[in-house]
Amino acid sequence: MSRLKKMVGDVEINQDLLLLLSVGGLYSLSIALSNTFVNIYLWKQSGQFVDLAIYNLSSVIFEPIAFSLAGWWAKRIDRVIILRLGIVFLAAFYLIVLGAGEVASANLVMLGSVLGIGSGFYWLAYNVLTFEVTEPETRDFFNGFLGVLASFAGMIGPVVAGFVISRLQDNNGYNLIFSLSLGLFLLAVIMSFFLKRREAHGRFLFKKIWEERNHDKDWGRITNAHFFQGVREGIYVFIISVFVFISTGSELALGTFGLVNSAVSFVAYYLAARMIKKHTRKKAIFFGGMLLYSSLFLILFTMSYPTLILYGIAISIGYPLVLVPYISMTYDVIGKARNARKARIEYIVIRELFLNFGRICSILIFLLLVLLLNEEIGIPVSLVILGTGYAAIYYYVKDIQLEEHGEESIAEDGQKQASETNLIKGER
């Protein structure tokens, strides 16, 4: 503990904070190892983009349902129980994948729904616990250190997984990596038992906060923006990794792609956080959205591993340009909204619903176009249409006007710092 004190300086570190950081680190590493390769594992079995879309659609349908249910429970039961339940579902997901083996692609809806339920429970509880476990003096340390853990996992996990999978024959590499992810989640479950219990209280004001969109124009604009954020994420979250694998036939190449993405993104997030000021937020969102959309044309007509790497570098710069100011604007809007202090969970739940509504619409449009036009035409058309999502964010945030006291109320409430992690997760 004394060595840790030297590293963090005067920040007061308690046991629950360290445990929550450890759980978050285990989650990040487990997801970094396996998340991308689950889609490749399923694609190798079926060879159909439609099947991948059905799997991901099931996940984004059940995640907001679980997130909303967890929000309601968070006002009634111990949040540690909800966190533990989420981790158990995530562990069960890998158990099912391992148990199904070579017929995993025949259980797409079940796999997607279990993953979505686990993610929904986990992220709602983690956000609330972050607020409760940290204090204003320790929140910057917590979020910063958690970001370091997530970035490190994002750089190391994919390339290690890709190396292991490419070196072992048949599906042995996949089984080993999925088993490691399962073990990490089981360890996270065990660690959660050492977190102190948290008493629940209050009413779940979902209807009131939903209706607030009709009265608070900025809240309405920011939820619309989240819908369009989801429109891009719906298919891009899985289709690019398959393109990389198709172009190279190598899991190691896919892991290297992930390493390059994460390394560039790490630097870009650092620079964006330091350089983007409040008066330049909207410009950054505009240019970031344009960069994300225009980067598509690097791979639309000529798709190869080098062009995919260039695409990965471009989006690794574009995402921070959008998300760093966009995250801040989102919580500025929530911070000045009515009942923000006692209804922060409801605001986060509704924001997550709009994000997933966008993802659901995205995948449904993709399925429709692929079934009507076939994969050769339907996929490029889908990428062009749905890729406009992040560019559309600017249209909704450009008219948001925030007064100076908005940020202060967030800082006092701790809401922004406690919840930022979940929005960054939404980038996945």
Per-residue H/E/C for 285-348? HHHHHHHHHHHHHHCCCCCCHHHHHHHHHHHHHHHHHHHHHHHHHHHHHHHCCCCCCCCHHHHH
The burial class, CB within 10 Å (0-12 / 13-18 / 19+), for 107 is middle
Q: Enter the tokens of residue 339.
A: 């009942």
The pLDDT of residue 13 is: 72
Residue 368 has pLDDT above 90, yes or no: yes
Average pLDDT, stretch 255-265? 91
Classified as helix, coil or strand, 205 is coil
The pLDDT of residue 2 is: 54
Closest to 346 (Cα-Cα) out of 86, 73, 53: 73
Q: How big is the CA angle at 359 (ends 352 and 225), to the nearest 5 degrees?
A: 60
Are 30 and 351 within 8 A, CB to CB? no
Residue 343 has pLDDT above 70, yes or no: yes
Are 137 and 78 within 8 A, CB to CB? no
Average pLDDT, stretch 380-407? 84
> What CA–CA distance (Å, rounded) separates 175 from 99?
10
Residue 357 has pLDDT above 90, yes or no: yes
The pLDDT of residue 406 is: 40
Residue 421 has pLDDT above 50, yes or no: no
Are 208 and 339 within 8 A, CB to CB? yes
The pLDDT of residue 139 is: 65
State how far Cα 380 lies from the chain centre: 24
Closest to 329 (Cα-Cα) out of 272, 383, 282, 385: 282
Are 89 and 213 within 8 A, CB to CB? no
Average pLDDT, stretch 84-111? 91
The pLDDT of residue 380 is: 94
Q: Enter the tokens of residue 264.
A: 């560039």
According to DSSP, residue 77 is labeled: S
Closest to 158 (Cα-Cα) out of 32, 324, 286, 45: 32
- What domains, with CATH codes, occur in the chain? 11-198 (1.20.1250.20), 205-428 (1.20.1250.20)
pTM of the predicted protein model: 0.87
